[in-house]
Amino acid sequence: MSVLAYLIPISLILGTVGLAAFFYTVRSNQYDDPEGDSRRILNDEWDDKPKP
């Protein structure tokens, strides 16, 4: 049963990382334009180098 001592913290930490990532995306307005963002990947304007 000692395996639980690893597995439970690991599962909790992974979950918290996911939750923190979700918080970050909400806070940085990433759900404001879902439709536009899904189309912007087709934009070839900054294909060669990243936008400065």
Partner 1 sequence: MTAQLRPSLAACPACVAAPHGGAEQAPTEARLALSLPGIHCQACISTVERELNAHPGIHSARVNLTLKRALIEADPDVRAADLIPVLEQAGFEAHELDLAALAATQNDKAGRDLLMRLAVAFFASMNVMLLSISVWSGASDATRDMFHWISAAITFPAIIFSAQPFFANAWTALRVGRLNMDVPIVLALVLALVTSLWETFLSGEHAYFDAALTLTFFLLAGRYLDYRTRAVARSAAEELAALEVPRAIRLLDGDEYEVPVADLAIGDLILVRPGGRMPVDGEIVSGQSELDRSLLTGETLPVFAEPGLAVSAGEVNLTGPLTIRATAVGEDTSLHRMTDLVAIAESGRSRYTSLADSAAKLYAPGVHILSALAFAGWYFYTFDIRTALNIAAAVLIITCPCALGLAVPAVTTAASGRLFKKGMLIKHATALERLAEVDTVVFDKTGTLTAGTPEVINLGDHARADLEIALALAEGSSHPLSAALSRAAREAGIKPASVQAITEVPGYGAEGIFRGARVRLGRAAWVGAAQGSQTAAWLDSGAGEAKPFLYTDALRPGAAEAVAALKAAGTNVLLISGDTTGAVEDLAGRLGISKWVAEALPADKSARVQLLADQGKKVLMVGDGLNDTAALAAAHVSISPASALDAARVASDIVLLGQDLEPIAEACGVAQKATRRIRENFRIATLYNVIAVPLAIAGLATPLIAALAMSTSSITVSLNALRLR
End-to-end CA distance of the chain: 53
Q: How many CB atoms lie within 10 A of CB 47?
A: 7
Region 4-43 residues binding partner 1, contact defined as CB under 8 A: 4, 8, 11-12, 15-16, 18-19, 22-23, 26-30, 32-36, 39-40, 42-43
The nearest distance, CB 50 to partner 1, in angstroms, is 16
Number of residues that bind partner 1 (CB under 8 A): 26
The nearest distance, CB 35 to partner 1, in angstroms, is 4
- Please report, for residues 10, 20, 24, 41, the alpha-carbon distance to residue 27 in angstroms, rounded to integers and kept in the order given: 26, 10, 5, 22
